Structure 1
Amino acid sequence: MRIDRFLSAAFLFAAASVCALAAEPAKAVPPVATGAMAGLMQVALALVFVIAAIFVTAWLMRRFTPGQFGSQAPLRMVGGVMVGNRERVVIVEVDDTWLVLGVTAAGISNLHSLPRPEGAVATPAASHVFAEKLATILKARKAPNPTQDTA
């Protein structure tokens, strides 16, 4: 909770700083090209400041909130099956142990745990499977069909 408060306060400070920069009264500048250039530079500086604040906030979130934003936890879902409207039985791999879990609307319960079978092959992530299927379909579309007459 402290981290969330800190990040919220940092974001509010950054937003207030940008608003203060934008609310500065314009100085009397002669109507020449330098006045337009100064205004453009002020807007560009404010934009750079906002983008930097976004990146700093994202970095702080990644640094101080473990388990989020792409952490490489040793946890992988092997498979699952629906056994009711809101009930599932899933197999989750943690290190070299498979956990058979019952997942319901009321909670999660450990049904069984067993060592990882030797014949079990690590399944690729769903995004890799999708990418491979898409590549196969695209290759099939590009390849000429030998059954069609070209004459």
Structure 2
Amino acid sequence: MTQFPKLPRSVRFVPLALTAAASPLFAADAATPAAPGITDGLGQMLLGLAVVLGLLLGCLWLIKKLSAPHGAAAGLKVLGAVPVGPRERVVLVEVGGQVLVLGVTPTNVRTLHTLPEEALQNTSPDAPATSGPFGDFQGWLKRSMERRNDAK
């Protein structure tokens, strides 16, 4: 018969102490709390939602404020850009009452043309575009579609 080594007294009574402390948790006669209703935490949830939305709107306002151009860049407005190659583009920039047509490449920026601001205001998006090799294709297509629909 093998004998187990003698353990200190404090180690021998640990399992007994743990079971005595845990017995109220497993007691069958412990009262169970009532199930919470749907509206019990509704106010707290709405308050938390309002705080999160407020923080979100505050952060968005701060980002907008910090990203706004300051100083010399405040009078600069990019009107549009058109890619003309894989890394090249033509950009319209409004600066101090003039519109600059810029050629932008990865290595430099060049002024291609300068226009007065009124030159772009005279052109409207409804005006027919006759600059293409086939004339006003968009207008022709629109008229032909209308004739087709009228014929039905």
TM range, smaller chain: 0.3 to 0.5
Length-normalised TM-score, structure 1: 0.44
Q: Which has the higher contact order (CA 8 A, sep 6+)?
A: 1
Length-normalised TM-score, structure 2: 0.44
